[in-house]
Structure formats: C-alpha cells, structure tokens
Amino acid sequence: MSDNACTTPGLVCAHHHLYSALARGMPAPQRVPSDFEDILELIWWRLDRALDLEMIRWSAKLGALEALESGTTAIIDHHSSPNCIDGSLEVIAQACREVGVRVLCAYEVSDRNGLDGAAAGLAENERYLSSGGRGYVGAHACFTLSEATLEAVAGLAEDLGVGVHIHVAEGLCDQGAGERLANLSRQEWLLAHCVHLDQELAGTIVHNPRSNMNNAVGYASPARFSGRVALGSDGIGADMLEEFRIAYARAREEDVTTTPELVWSWLEAGWELVPEALDDIVRWSYEPMDPWHLAFTPGVRPVEITVDGSLVLKGGQAVLVDSNEIRSKAAEQARRLFARL
Ligand SMILES: [Zn+2]
C-alpha cells in the first residue's frame, strides 16, 4: 500500500487470455454447453481456431486498453490461435506496448490439434522468448498433453530459464494434473485455477474466481494451499479491483472469518511476479485504497497512470492511443470473427 492514500502501484492480472476480448456477443453454440469440457469444445476451441493475426492484434489492443482503464499495468497472458501460431506472441506484445501496458506472453502448447500443432506451439514460445520477449512457456492443461509434450514444455522452459504457464485441475476432466506435475513443476511456474488440485505443487497458484463461477467448476479455495497465490481474470477483462471484490465475496461465502487483507495479499502477489509494476503509479478516484474499504466499494476508477515514468492515462483516458479507434477496429474484427464461426 502506498503512503499516498489514493495511489497504488500498477495492478497485475496474473492470468489473462487477451484473445477472448472479441468473444462477447459471439454466435451461440449449436447446443447449450452442459459442463466445463463442453464449454471448451463448443466455445473456446471453436473461437481460437478462427483467429488470424488482425483479430489477435485488435483483441490484444482492446484487452490492454481495458486493463489500463482499470488500473492494471501488467498482464500475464496465455494465448491460443491454432491456425495462426507463428508470430502471434510478438503481435500481442506490440499491441500492449502501443497502449502502454506491460505483458508477459505465452503460447498454449497442446496436443488437441495434433503433433504438428504442438510442435508449432513450442516453436512459437521459443521464437518469442529467445528473441528477448518476456514471458513463460505456455501449455494448455495436462489432459490435452501427452507425457512427451509435457516433458518438452518443461524442458524448453528449463533451457530458456523461464517458468511454465499452465492450466491445472480447472475442471474434473483434469483432476490427474497434480500427480502428473508433482515431479515436474518449479517455483517459477504459474498454475492457473487449481480448483481440483489434490496436492501442493511448486509454483504460484493463480486464482480466477469469476471465471470459475462462470464455468461452474467449483471453488478453488486457494487459502488451503501454503504456496503463493495470485489473482487472474482468465480472460474476462482485467479489472483487478473487481476481481479482488469477487474473490473476497466467494472466499467469505466459504469462510466468514476471511479478511479483505488475505484476499488483497493475493492481488499483491502479482508484484512478486512482475516487480516492475511496483514502479508504476496509479492515482485512483477513491481514498483510502485500503482492502477493508475496497472490498465494499464498487466503481473505483484510475484517474492518472504512469508506467515506467511515462504518462499513459490522464483524466481516465488512455494517452498513447485513441481509445475510440481501438474500440471501433476491435468491433470490426469481432464481426469478421463471428462470420467465421
Ligand atoms: Zn485460462
């Protein structure tokens, strides 16, 4: 917490999918998904296969803009576009740079699109990270990864000196993840969701409370783990004060002794993952920026933001980009995307 009652460092979204920024309003699936696997197959895997570079570029710009407009200056992204893999991470990184938001990228390696798809995913992570890009080696989830692919992911991360960003036991279909990762995961790994994780693993757990509720996968109860816990949005925007309030309400529903400080500590863990965000300054529309206030105060907005010493938001408006242009170009790309679905 800052000395100044109405400022904080830049907030961190520790698990995002910028490619989902165009998804709202997409055509309904052929039938109503009845469980988490259905949601993946009928919605997300249909959407990600339709993405091209222009859609990726404008969804990332829109997602970064919405993050900035919520006081989030650092995004840890997890990207998937199986029919447009090569160069996708650099497009996302460039889009975020233009808006003035920090991003740590990862490409989602998976065997769900065949061996070639997995190899292309590995190559994209390697290309981006070895050319100086900041991020992780991305992997979908154990239930779509063979043992060989999982080992290739872990090996590449080891070689490049970075962690792996992977979904862990998000739904019951991935319940075996704990056992498969027990001897593989490292402190630098990011473990998204961990709803059905049955053992402690090395790495940071990223709790995505609203997404978990939306997918009806159950409560992750992150307080049961002894390791570091951070907060993410899983692609539903990057308004981390709102995510904090939802995380608090959901934790409180489970255990009435939960304090806002505990949940705020999950938000603060983002600064251990992206320490540079501590140098960013967000001046808010409310004071004091104290967990006990914020847990019960909706609508708190950033007024001014500096990232790395540069002014990127003034009077609540992005400075480096034209937010109206981003919204209209993103809407155009969303129409192209929906026509393909
Ligand atoms: Zn996710």
Interval between CA 5 and ligand 1 midpoint (Å): 33
How remote is the CA of residue 288 from the centroid of ligand 1, in Å?
32
Q: How far is the CA of 167 from the centre of ligand 1 (A)?
A: 6
> Rounded mean pLDDT of 176-199?
97
Residues with CB under 5 A from ligand 1 (ion): 234
Question: Is there a domain that residue 2 lies in?
Answer: no
- Name the packing angle between helices 240-254 and 260-268 (round to 10°): 140
pLDDT of residue 212: 97
The CA 17 to ligand 1 mean position distance, Å, reads 6
CATH of the domain at 167: 3.20.20.140
How far is ligand 1, taken at its centre, from the CA of residue 79, in Å? 9
Domain annotation covers residue 233: yes
Alpha helices in the chain (DSSP H): 36-39, 45-49, 53-68, 88-99, 114-130, 147-160, 177-181, 209-214, 240-254, 260-268, 270-273, 291-294, 323-340
Tokens 């080696």 label which residue?
137
Q: For residue 105, how far is its CA from the centre of ligand 1 (angstroms)? A: 13
Longest pairwise C-alpha distance within the chain: 53
Average pLDDT over residues 74-96: 98
pLDDT at 71 over 80: yes
Ramachandran angles phi, psi of 147, nearest 5°? -60, -40
CB 294 within 8 A of CB 11: no
If you average pLDDT over every residue of the chain, what do you get?
97
Answer whether residue 147 shows pLDDT above 90.
Answer: yes
What is the total count of domains within the chain? 1
Within-domain flag for 206: yes
The alpha carbon of 156 and the centre of ligand 1 are apart by a number of angstroms equal to 21
* Ligand 1: centre distance to CA 140 (Å): 8
Show the domain range for 162: 7-340
Report the share of the chain in percent with pLDDT over 70: 99
Q: For 252-289, give one letter per residue: b (16+ CB within 10 A) or e.
A: eeeeeebebebbbebbbbbbebbebbbebbbbbebeeb
Q: Report the C-alpha gap between 335 and 341 in whole angstroms.
A: 10
Instruction: Tell me how many degrees the CA angle 31-35-41 measures, rounded to the nearest 5.
Output: 60
Taking the centre of ligand 1 as the mean of its atom positions, its distance from the CA of residue 192, in whole angstroms, is 7
pLDDT of residue 2: 44
**SS3 for 58-119, per residue?**
HHHHHHHHHHHCCCEEEEEECECCCCCCCCHHHHHHHHHHHHCCEEEECEEECCCCHHHHHH
Q: How far is the CA of 235 from the centre of ligand 1 (A)?
A: 7
What does the chain come to in residues?
341
User: Does pTM surpass 0.75?
Assistant: yes
Distance 2 CA to ligand 1 centre (A): 30
Residue 4 pLDDT: 74
The pLDDT value recorded for residue 224 is 96
User: How many C-beta atoms lie closer than 10 Å to residue 82's C-beta?
Assistant: 19
pLDDT in tens, 27-43: 999 899 999 999 999 99
pLDDT in tens, 313-329: 999 999 999 999 999 99
Residue 195 alpha carbon to ligand 1 centre in Å: 12
Give a yes or no: residue 1 inside a domain: no
| Res 1: pLDDT | 45
79 within domain boundaries:
yes
Residue 36 lies in a domain: yes
**Over the stretch 152-166, which tens digit does the pLDDT of each residue have?**
999 999 999 999 999
Q: Does residue 24 surpass a pLDDT of 50? A: yes
